[in-house]
Amino acid sequence: MTTRDTDWDGVRLHVVTGKGGTGKTTVSAALALALARAGRRVLLIEVEGRQGIARLFDCPPLPYEERKVALGLGAHGGEGGDVYALAVDPEGALLDYMEMFYNMRRAGRTLSRLGVVDFATTIAPGLADVLVTGKATEATRRRVGGRTSGHLYHAVVMDAPPTGRISRFLDVSTEISGLAKVGPVKTHADTVAKVIRSPQTVVHFVTTLEEMPVQETLDGIAELHELTQGAIRPGGIIINMARPAVLDAADLAAAASGTLDVAELVVGLKAAGISDNHGLAAELMTELREHALQVAQQNRERDEVLTAGLPHYELPMIPDGIDLAGLYQLAAKLREQGAA
């Protein structure tokens, strides 16, 4: 590791949100790989019961147990640290909570069997949220040994619910205080909130350069600020699946407006041994025009999302689909840009 600080030094809980389809889980995983420098241990948490992490890392479904899934991204050809993963569900989190705070694991099982957890999380989703975020903050605070020892995890990355739900999900103590003014759950929620509202925690927003994800990102950032009066800190904007422009701005503008000369292309194609039979060049021009329009839209949406004034990172579309190699590529991009 170099001495250069990353943008998020001091942050230990990275919450990653984004609209469905923007690649939130992929980006969370890449961020965990990037954070896991040599000698560091990073925990990647999934909260929506989709087993997306297991699929990404090509391993069997994750149990409610912290399990090593990958080596982090190394530096200069060296090995990285360790990435652990955990799939949290409210049920498991409740059992954990009851055992940890009340030593009541058996009672917890009874509640589970009776369907109390399922029930409670249906009529009061805030309860499920506090259990799940509680597990993430507990892992964040966990130490190797006694109070003065180091943290077990250098950082925790949470693949969180989508943008539309993130503020409520994180604003646990407000959610809970609607239900319970005092009592153990309220106390627990306050402890969780203290971590989430500290400078140790930031919320990163994943978006693609499309209208709706960008709009949701801006709405999500505004809502987070409004709902928590700035107490929960937005992190960075991670632009995912950006398609690079193939030509410079002037050529693209000409292509979009249809003023680029087809004859130029015909000459080039001929030099490459491709004859312009039946208007092949014109067809390629149509394709180029579509590309130019897409790039223009991307640029508009990028300008729009950057009005939020947050640090931003850009990840390219991985053309062959996301596999482990693709994840490391994305992790390297995140690290290059200072995100980790």
Can you tell me the distance from the alpha carbon of 222 to that of 230, in angstroms, rounded to the nearest whole number? 10
CB of 35 closer than 8 Å to CB of 338: no
The minimum distance between CB 258 and other proteins, in angstroms, equals 13
Taking the C-alpha atoms of residue 91 and residue 128, their distance in angstroms, rounded to an integer, is: 8
Told to check if 213 binds other proteins by CB under 8 A, we report: yes
Least distance from other proteins to the Cβ atom of residue 139, Å: 20
Residue 61 engages other proteins in binding (rule: CB under 8 A): no
The residue whose two tokens read 């482990």 is 324
d(CA 277, CA 293): 26
Minimum CB distance to other proteins smaller for 20 or for 258: 20
Is position 324 an interface residue for other proteins (rule: CB under 8 A)? no
**Residue 226 found at the interface with other proteins (CB under 8 A):** no
Q: Using CB under 8 A, which of 63, 268, 303, 324 touches other proteins?
A: 268
Smallest separation (angstroms) from other proteins to the CB of 137: 17
Nearer to other proteins, 194 or 291 (CB): 291
Q: How far is the CB of 326 from other proteins (least distance, A)?
A: 12
In the window 113-142, what residues touch other proteins (CB under 8 A)? 114-116, 118-126, 128
**Residue from 104, 152, 308, 332 binding other proteins (CB under 8 A):** 104
Q: Which two tokens stand for residue 127?
A: 């309860």
The residue within the footprint of other proteins, chosen from 179, 227, 242, 318 (CB under 8 A), is 179
* Binding to other proteins, residues 270-309 (CB under 8 A): 271-274, 280, 283-291, 293-294, 297
Q: Is 257 in the site for other proteins (CB under 8 A)?
A: no
CA dihedral 62, 65, 67, 69 (to 10 degrees): 30
- Dig out the tokens for 108 from the structure: 């917890």
Sheet holding 13-18, edge to edge: 67-71, 82-87, 41-46, 155-159, 13-18, 201-207, 233-242, 312-316
With binding defined as CB under 8 A, does residue 336 bind other proteins?
no
Contacts of 170 (CB under 8 A, 6+ apart): 15, 133, 160, 196, 203, 224, 228, 232
Of the candidates 6, 1, 2, the one whose C-alpha atom is nearest the C-alpha of residue 235 is 6
Pick between residue 75 and residue 212 the one whose CB is nearest to other proteins: 212
**Minimum distance, C-beta of residue 292 to other proteins, in the bound complex (Å):** 8
- Count of chain residues binding other proteins (CB under 8 A): 75
Beta bridge partners of 264: none
Binding of other proteins at residue 186 (CB under 8 A)? yes
